[in-house]
Structure 1
Amino acid sequence: MNDNKPILRYTANERTNHWIVAILFMMAGLSGLALFHPALFWLSHLFGGGPWTRILHPFLGVAMFVFFLGLVVRFWRANFITANDRLWLRRVDRVMLNQEQGVPPVGKYNAGQKLLFWTLLACMLVLLLTGVVIWRAYFSHLFGIEVIRLSALAHALAAFVLVLSIIVHIYAGIWIKGSISAMLHGWVSRAWARKHHELWYREVTGDKTRGNHGRKEG
């Protein structure tokens, strides 16, 4: 076994899908902020003015949801919560301090990444459903004013949670060195995979050697 040979973490298609979603998120987020409050209306200039911002925002949101579904189809199986994940969450303080002792090994994603995945999916679904209700050009006339008001509130709350989640996602990617490089180039070192995702490392390499993690405890 060549210990210097890198491991493919993300294919070109997966990386492209991810960055398309990221770009659409930025565009939908900025256009949404422009429509959210008059103090932020200047952001509409990025999209050609107020009318174009109102036209483009819902289409950007739908496109973001569709491409995000591509990520869901690719990765949902790897994001189920396991017993090791629950133990990992109970010992997340050790993870934050970079102390490996007693922290169970994880698969392709740790429990924090999995919770983020399901949070993003829930927010995307809420944004899509409420966005349809308040989409004046096509659908809002089908709903009563109270439903539209509640949908607008839920839409704003889901967007707020989504933005916070993405900030956490970016911070974690910067904090764990090698994560951003994996999404840019697709490859990670064997040492990185063994340290951060030992069960996944064993699965893709066939190496059954135990890493530095402590044994699983009840």
Structure 2
Amino acid sequence: MIRKQILRYTANQRTNHWLVAILFFMAALSGLALFHPALFWLSNLFGGGPWTRILHPFMGVVMFVLFLGLVIRFWSANFFIRNDGLWLKRIGRVIQNEEEGVPPIGKYNPGQKLLFWTLLLCMLGLLFTGLVIWRAYFSVYFGITVIRWAMLLHALAGFVLVLSIIVHIYAGIWIKGSVSAMVHGWVSRAWAKKHHELWYREVTRDEDPDRPIRKG
């Protein structure tokens, strides 16, 4: 067991995250294949056009269900607190990796919280518009105008979601230790105190400093 470390993500949480990530890339690639003729060659990854049309909505539904697992687990940690506004005012120092004097924050910083709520809204948008345009089961219940608007909103939500995930990946790589935390689950006490001091204080309360901390 690694000593003097804090468990940030359990094995179940990490597995849930990576399953959502895999399904996101599959749904994104299949969606792009259906979005524009120039990208239709991506359908070869899924066995051709017909299979892409069949699999895409199912992958989207499964992704949403698994994403709900993350929402349930991390919901309470993503509400904004007073320090978040102060943190955002000093975002320049955070970007420069000079976090001394920056207000302490909880398990997630304001940027991560904004991303969380953006992802949730995009996922909900994709789910409901996707159901409207799902020809095999639901589109027969809607008029052509509703379907056209749903297709437009579906594409818009997908675009915002892809951009958000790009930001998520970049931020995870930029903040050293974030990716490894989602791989093996543990972070150092120094990392936790530097980037998420309020969370660090919470999970280290009354703990032996020489013993690993099994808290999320």
> Smaller-chain TM-score range?
over 0.9
| 8 Å CA contact retained: 1:7, 1:187 | yes
Alignment partners' CA distance in 2, 1:97 and 1:207: 33
3-state SS in 2 of match to 1:26? helix
> Which one scores higher on RCO, CA 8 angstroms, separation ≥ 6?
2
What RMSD, in angstroms, separates the aligned Cα atoms of the two structures?
Answer: 1.4
Task: Report the Cα distance in structure 1 between the residues aligned to 2:84 and 2:27, rounded to whole angstroms.
Answer: 32
Distance 1:133 1:102 in 2: 49
In 2, Cα distance between equivalents of 1:83 and 1:179: 24
- Which residues in structure 2 correspond to 1:1-218 (within 5 Å)? 4-206=3-205
Alignment partners' CA distance in 2, 1:181 and 1:50: 37
Share of identical aligned residues, percent?
80
Q: Distance in 1 between matches of 2:206 and 2:150?
A: 51
Q: CA deviation at 1:207?
A: 7.1
SS at match of 2:120: helix
Distance 1:79 1:203 in 2: 15
After superposition, what is the alpha-carbon deviation per residue over 1:62-81, rounded to whole angstroms, capped at 9, x for unaligned?
A: 00000000000000000001
* Aligned counterparts of 1:90 and 1:43: Cα–Cα separation in 2: 42
- Secondary structure of the residue aligned to 1:188 is strand
SS in 1 for 2:114: helix
Match of 1:211 in 2: none
Partner of 1:15: helix, strand, or coil?
Answer: helix
- Rounded Cα–Cα distance in structure 1 between residues aligned with 2:101 and 2:179: 27
Task: Measure the CA separation in 2 of the matches of 1:45 and 1:145.
Answer: 29
Q: For residues 97 and 178 of structure 1, what CA distance do their matches in structure 2 show? A: 16
Name the CA distance, whole Å, in 2 between partners of 1:99 and 1:204. 24
Equivalent AA in structure 1 for residue 11 of structure 2 = A
Task: Give the TM-score normalised by the residue count of structure 1.
Answer: 0.92
Between the two proteins, the alignment pairs up a number of residues equal to 206
Which region of structure 1 is more displaced relative to structure 2, 59-68 or 101-110?
101-110
Deviations 1:81-131 (A, max 9, x none): 111011111211111111223310011000000000000000000000000
Tell me, in whole angstroms, the C-alpha distance in 2 between the residues paired with 1:204 and 1:194.
11
Could you tell me which amino acid in structure 1 is paired with residue 66 of structure 2?
A: F
Distance of 2:205 and 2:137 partners within structure 1: 54
Q: Counterpart amino acid of 1:96? A: I
CA distance in 2, matches of 1:25, 1:123: 12
- For residues 18 and 37 of structure 1, the distance between their equivalents in structure 2, rounded to whole angstroms, comes to 29
Normalising by structure 2, report the TM-score.
Answer: 0.93
Instruction: Write the distance in 1 (CA, Å) between the matches of 2:78 and 2:101.
Output: 22
Stretches (4+) displaced over 6 A: none
- 1:114-163 CA-to-partner distances (Å, cap 9, x unmatched) read 00000000000000000000000000010011110000000000000000
Unaligned runs of at least 5 residues, structure 1: 209-218
Q: Is the 8 A contact 1:201 1:207 kept in 2?
A: no
